[in-house]
Structure 1
Amino acid sequence: EIVKIGKDVENFSLGDRVVATHHVPCNNCEYCQRGQHSLCHSIHNTKYYPGGFSEFVRLPAVNLAKGGVLKIPDSVSYDDASFVEPLGCVVRGLRELDFKPSRSILVLGSGLSGQLVIRNAKAYGAGKIIATDLNDYRLDFAKKSGADLVIDAKQDDVIKKVLAETDGQGVDYVVITAGAKILFEQAMQTVKNGGKVLLYGIMAPGTIIDFDIFPFWQKQVQLLSTYAAAPIDLREALELIRAKRVAVTDLITHRLGLVETGKGFELTANAADSMKVIINPQK
């Protein structure tokens, strides 16, 4: 909620409910003009103060000028609005894939990002949706999110299961949402001819992966990456939430006060029985 406003601010008022992004593109550079907003210098150098985990934040003028602040519709709760940024990142990722309805998709990793990929792909009319994880809790969530098949990567051979499920053809899209090296090999072996692999979750800097380049070339696979979300993605995410095309409320597993922020990070890192952990800065 806006509790204080600068004298030159227009189109926003005290009491407005808003969601703000910490990344704002300039909308003017060559990357922005090509629609590659997440390569913009500005998007890597903008932020709000003093940071997200505080009772109050100050938004710089650039956030207002470049579309980095969105009004929350009356029908959308603050909790649901907290998904605008993560869902916006998924919207951008599927945009990078040039996602088409009725195509099959494999989601490698079923944490919060994976759940949102599943739900967004379903909202966009995906065909068969397959999801993997090592955690039974997350796999159960993936089923609720709309996955047609979930694969326990602890017990099953992911590559064999996916190929068996697709008559040996593989899937149109593979989205890697976690940072495990083995997922890259699984992606390259399960994407079909002419398919696309999206690096959504990425491994640590310095990670080196060896893979056979010949099948990659022969299959004419496209390897893509994505980062962050631009205002256009955030607006689409907010509308998907408002229209209930992508349900998010049930993904919230914990609500904590500001003093429990450390516990929230622990829950997220342990990835045992948590999904979306919300920090309420006023508690």
Structure 2
Amino acid sequence: MKTAFVKEPSKISIDETEKPVLGNGDILVQMQACGICGSDLEKVFGQYGQPSMRLGHEPAGIVIDVGSGVTEFKKGDRVFTHHHVPCYDCHFCKHGNETMCKKYYETNLSPCGLSEEYVVPAWNVSHGGVLKISDSLSFQEAAMIEPLACCVRAWTKFSYRENDSVAIFGVGPTGMMHVMLAHAKKFSKIFCLDVNEFRLNFAKKFNITDSINSKDDSRKQKILEQTAGEGVDVAIIATSSLKALDDAIDIVRKGGAIMMFGVPSKGASLKLDMSKIYSKEITLVTSYAASDQDTKSALDLIESSQIDVKQLITHTYNIDDSQKAFDHARTGDNAMKIIITK
């Protein structure tokens, strides 16, 4: 079977690997669709700050074999599979920090999600890491469950109310999911900022307040003028560019919140005027990954049509063309979500 690996910086190798052997409680899934996300790009082209270098954590597919003792799943089931599942019993989990759990990092798909076939370990199978999907849901839509789950989790980290305003820095696929969530939560004003004109124009289709180029010298003034000079209630940074954080501090209102959502490179740093954060009483929070509880919420949002992820899928590539897919995703040329299929 074919599996994608990062062999050297910026290079993806598609290698023939042996078919995995199932252990007790494991299931074998034939990948049908797997999305490319920002952390994948960082693993290939950047210096990823987290330990795993496995590619593909947004896979969906068909169960083609089950290990002994598996009763909840059978051959032919259409499933989404989450790559990490926490223990729900440690100090981190009991404090709602499931993605910091040691077990969370130990539970991986093998060899990875970006493979024609992969094993879901027994722990994931028995602890909610595998979700059956309806026949009406395409595998490409199911591949969007994990990134939406990450967004869902981020929204639990800060306070907000109906009719609040938000500025979203970086309107790639997850940035647009934040736009959709803001609409679902009945925000009154949504500002989108990016340097990619295709994505700025794409965002305009979603009934937003304004779409602003991040290089526009008047970007901050435009937002302040449309928020009675106060600034937005929430700023979500869905980009790896830390310059966005500097902008967010200036355009978020006093007492507002900034969500650091995008994946920064390892060692990335920025000089900040902390007196602004202090004097404005800005809440600065981060959100890393998602738990299986978040994936369940994301699946509900998609299957109930509250969030229409189909609108975000612009390109698909075969697994053999993974390098082209990643190169395309890196440039973002006329693209939103890029999906790899078997």
CA RMSD of aligned residues (A): 1.3
Give the superposition deviation at 1:57: 0.7
Residue identity in the other structure for 1:36: N
Determine the structure 2 residue equivalent to 1:160.
221
Give the superposition deviation at 1:156: 4.1
DSSP-derived class of the 1:96 partner: coil
Determine the structure 2 residue equivalent to 1:66.
127
Determine the structure 1 residue equivalent to 2:83.
22
Contact 1:131–1:150, Cα closer than 8 Å, also in 2: yes
Determine the structure 2 residue equivalent to 1:8.
69
DSSP-derived class of the 2:118 partner: coil
Residue identity in the other structure for 2:315: H
More strand by share: 2
Determine the structure 1 residue equivalent to 2:29.
none
Unaligned runs of 5+ in 1: none
- After TM superposition, the structure 1 = structure 2 runs for residues 162-177 of structure 1, keeping only pairs within 5 Å, are 162-177=223-238
Residue identity in the other structure for 2:150: C
Determine the structure 2 residue equivalent to 1:56.
117
- After TM superposition, the structure 1 = structure 2 runs for residues 73-88 of structure 1, keeping only pairs within 5 Å, are 73-88=134-149
DSSP-derived class of the 1:95 partner: coil
Q: Distance in 2 between matches of 1:195 and 1:259?
A: 46
Give the superposition deviation at 1:146: 3.6
Is the counterpart of residue 135 in structure 1 residue 176 in structure 2?
Answer: no
Q: Distance in 1 between matches of 2:316 and 2:263?
A: 27
Is the counterpart of residue 124 in structure 1 residue 185 in structure 2?
Answer: yes
Determine the structure 2 residue equivalent to 1:114.
175
Determine the structure 2 residue equivalent to 1:47.
108
* More displaced 10-residue stretch of structure 1: 207-216 or 270-279: 207-216
Determine the structure 1 residue equivalent to 2:322.
261
- After TM superposition, the structure 1 = structure 2 runs for residues 118-267 of structure 1, keeping only pairs within 5 Å, are 118-267=179-328
Residue identity in the other structure for 1:107: I
Give the superposition deviation at 1:269: 0.3
DSSP-derived class of the 2:258 partner: strand
Contact 1:27–1:66, Cα closer than 8 Å, also in 2: no
Aligned partner (choices 86, 92, 95) of residue 34 of structure 1: 95
Give the superposition deviation at 1:181: 2.5
Q: Distance in 1 between matches of 2:161 and 2:125?
A: 33
Give the superposition deviation at 1:132: 0.5
Identity of counterpart residues, as a percentage?
34
Residue identity in the other structure for 2:193: T
Residue identity in the other structure for 1:142: A
Residue identity in the other structure for 2:283: Q
Residue identity in the other structure for 1:44: Y
DSSP-derived class of the 1:3 partner: strand
Q: Distance in 1 between matches of 2:320 and 2:119?
A: 20
Give the superposition deviation at 1:233: 0.7
Residue identity in the other structure for 2:314: T
Determine the structure 2 residue equivalent to 1:280.
341
Residue identity in the other structure for 1:259: D
Residue identity in the other structure for 2:301: L
